[in-house]
Structures are given as structure tokens and as C-alpha cells.
Structure 1
């Protein structure tokens, strides 16, 4: 077994980064790549070492960090309380959450005021692609003011994208469930297609970029499913219970493509 040379391990005996390494990292010294990535990964999970890093940071870095947080959050919000939430849903996603909820409520209103039997339920037609509104903003340079800071961390890429996509689904799915209950659009029709479309969009995002993939998928859905359903009426065949095996296959295939192309998300 190969012995490690002294100083290769960035942690002390208590499992934390050494004071010398924290000081060199804060000063921007040229560290070996393995030690640099190791200390950054440790800092992301260790609150104590982040506090030590904050104390060791040069005044210009501290001023820049405070200025960034001041732009991201309302005044008076303590930074330690907002950072864990920002790992899942940064402030840039809040308007997208609001817009997604508004779209669901608008579809609900259409279903409540439209004569029954005229067309398929608007909630049912839009449910599979509504989460894409949030997914489009989950990993976008133009929509996240902290983008440059985020992508410089060692865990940026697929892991962060999945966190933010999960946050979108946590917000959107309960709203869709409530709207479906009010209009009779059972989740048996739209839940599996919703997850499958999201999975396929993330897979396509490894090639096109997530925002472009979301726009492309939503546009195809509007042209191939929503448009014909509005014209012909009734529940589209792709949303019938018999299509569940196809959606399950799409969900599995999309998830597999995301897994095997995980490295592409760090470059996109």
C-alpha cells in the first residue's frame, strides 16, 4: 500500500482542514490540484471550517462575499440561515416557482369556467410539462446572479442540478395534485408522464444545455399533444393509462442517460 507523503492529507487528526491549509486557501496560494479539490469538498460539508475560512479571508474577499449576498437576499436575512436553502433553491428560482404556480392556477381556472366535454382538461394537458418552467431556470447563467460562484465549487454540475430539479418538483407537484383533485384530473394520468418528461429533458440538457432542452421539450409537447387535444377534444392517447409502460421506459431511459452523461453537466 502506498504511503502518503507528509502534508498530502489536508485534514488534521480531528478530521478538519489544517489551519495552514485554510490560510493558504483563503490567501489564494497556488495549491496542488488534489489538495485544492479536497479542501473545497470538505469546506462544503463542514460548517466549522467555513467559519475558520471566513475569519482567514482577506478583507477584499469578505467585502465581495457580503456584497453578493446583499444582492441575492432581502436585507436583514442572516447569511447562516439562508445558505442551506440556497443549496436546493437559490433566490433566482423564486420567480420561476411563482410563475409555475400561476400557470397551474390559470389552467385550473380554464377547467372551471370552460363547458365540460369541450376539450381535455387544461390541467391534465399541462401537468407533464409545467415543472419544465422551473427546470429551465435551475441551471442558467443569465438567471442566477451567483452562477460564477456556484460553478467554481467542486460539486457543481449534475448533483446541484438534481437538487434544484428536486426543489422544483417539491413545489410544483403538490400544486398539480390540488388542481387535479379539483378538476378530476387524476395523477394516474399525468404523474408518470411528468416525471418521464422531466427525466428526458435533463438527459437532453447534457447535449443542448438544460434551458434549451426545457424549451425544446415544452415546444414539442405543445405542438404534438396540446394542440391536437384542443382541436380534437378528449384525452390524448399519450396520457391514457395504457401508455404507462411507455412512460416508465422513457423515465428509465432518461435517468440512465443522465447518469452515464453526468460529466457533461459540469462542462455545460
Structure 2
């Protein structure tokens, strides 16, 4: 280099007060001159240099959003909500593939015989999806959600809506493969809403595992018992059964809203919902801070 930056210019540049056009000249020169870059470091405190490297390391190590999370953020979903949705086990490819395979089998039986298998299976899918999306041992982000500054009830609702929307869309597509049955092929919709809302409402009392197990077992028993007489359409898919499903969904939703504070009360939601002692302590602190605020 035939010239070097003035020491005063380097000092002003380090302080961020060097004005154009000298700023542009110094920046261009620094990109090509190792001696001036070394001289510049003498005007920058060591603490600031270390802090800059730390910020750079944090930025490089930060997890990159996946395709699902990026899509959710692009359509307007808040980044923290998108991260929680993307981490939902029931929205992973393995789970969606299992759901699609189950519906494909049900449609095959429907084309060969009757749509009963689809009608009986489709309502269980969102119930199972919610069960595997919330709770210890099932949700990979459970520990994080326990201590996160977010209402547990809101987290449960976010994931329930996501699972219900996904499985309902897949089941709806499966129903289109049975056009000869008309609207009867959509008889699973109201039972699906009833089972999901009942399972989530009971979660406040029985926990995220026992509640859906009992609801699913009750649904299976009801379908089997109504099929045994072989007297036409099973009860859950008659007009009376559909009205009963709508009533159950309504009552369960009301009870769920009434019990929403229980999800954040600090008490365990059933025996399977207990977190490790350290996490329960942090959750208690979070609850206390929320009460004070």
C-alpha cells in the first residue's frame, strides 16, 4: 500500500463518528490493508471485541427454521408460535405418513365394502394426535414449555387446533374417495370434534395420556356395540348420534374454557403430567411471577 489511514481517522472510525466521505475511504482501505486493521484494533476495547465474537458465535450457532416453521412465519404466524407448532410431534412426516396410511386403508375397505372403518377411525386421529403432542415422554419440547413464559392452556390450544386442522383436512380428502356415499362419508366430522374436545377437557383432570385413552376406548366400544346388532347404520352416524356428538362437543368446550386456569395453577394435571422436581420448581416461579404481574 502506498498510504495508510491516519490514526485519528482510525480512532473516529472505531468510535463510529467518522463522517463521509472519509468513512468510505477508510472502510475501503481497511478491506485491503492488514497493517491498518491491526492499528484499528488498538482503538477498540478488548471487551467489545470479545462481545462481538460472542454475538457472531451465537448467530452462527442459532438453529435455522425448517420449512414448516418458515412457511408459518411467512403467512403471518408469530415466530415463537411457529417454533412451537413446528416442534409438534403430530405434525412430523412420520406421523402424517401414518395418518395417511391409516386413511388409505380405511378408504380401501370403504370401496370394497362399507365406509364404516373410515367413519370409525377418522374421529380417533385428531384425538391421538393431540395426545402425542402434549405431555412428558411424548412432546420433545415439554420441558421447555413447562418453564416458558406462556400459558400452558394456550400452548395446548395452539397444538390442538394445528392437529385438528391437519387431520381433518386429510380425512376430508379421504372422504372424497368415496363419492358414492355422498354426505354420509362425512359422518366422522362431528364425532371427531366431540372426541377431541372431550379428550382435551378431561386432560385437566386426568392428564394428557389417560384422558384420550378413556375417550378413545369409549368411542371404540360405542361403535362396536352399535354394529353388533347389524340393524343398519350404527348409532353414532345416525341423525340422533350426530346431534349427540354436537352436544358433547359444545358441553366439552364450555367445560374446557371453565377449567382453563387449572392448566396454569401449578398443580399436576393427572399422574402422567408431573414434571421433574426442578421443572416443577421453575414452573412455580413462573406462576408466581405471573400472579405478581
Q: Which residue of 1 aligns with 2:97?
A: 98
CA deviations on 1:26-80 (whole Å, 9 max, x unpaired) are: xxxxxxxxxxxxxxxxxxxxxxxxxxxxx99x99xx69xx59x59x979xx9xx8
Q: CA deviation at 1:91?
A: 4.8
Q: 2:84 aligns with which of 84, 87, 107?
A: 87
2:148 partner SS: coil
Cα distance in 2 for partners of 1:91, 1:73 equals 13
Q: Which residue of 2 aligns with 1:261?
A: 259
Cα distance in 2 for partners of 1:177, 1:101 equals 11
CA contact 2:195–2:216 (8 Å) conserved in 1: no
* Greater Cα radius of gyration, structure 1 or 2: 2
Cα distance in 1 for partners of 2:86, 2:262 equals 22
Q: Which residue of 2 aligns with 1:215?
A: 213
Q: CA deviation at 1:171?
A: 0.9
Structure 1 segments of 4 or more deviating over 4 A?
80-84
Is 1:143 the counterpart of 2:138 in the alignment? yes
Q: 1:160 aligns with which of 155, 173, 192?
A: 155
CA contact 1:97–1:134 (8 Å) conserved in 2: no
Coordinate RMSD, CA, aligned: 3.4
Listed as ranges, the gaps of 5+ residues in structure 1 are 1-54
Q: CA deviation at 1:210?
A: 2.0
TM-score (norm 1): 0.63
Cα–Cα, structure 1 residues 139 and 156, in superposed 2: closer, same or farther, change >3 Å? Answer: farther
1:143 partner SS: coil
Q: CA deviation at 1:188?
A: 5.1
Q: CA deviation at 1:238?
A: 1.9
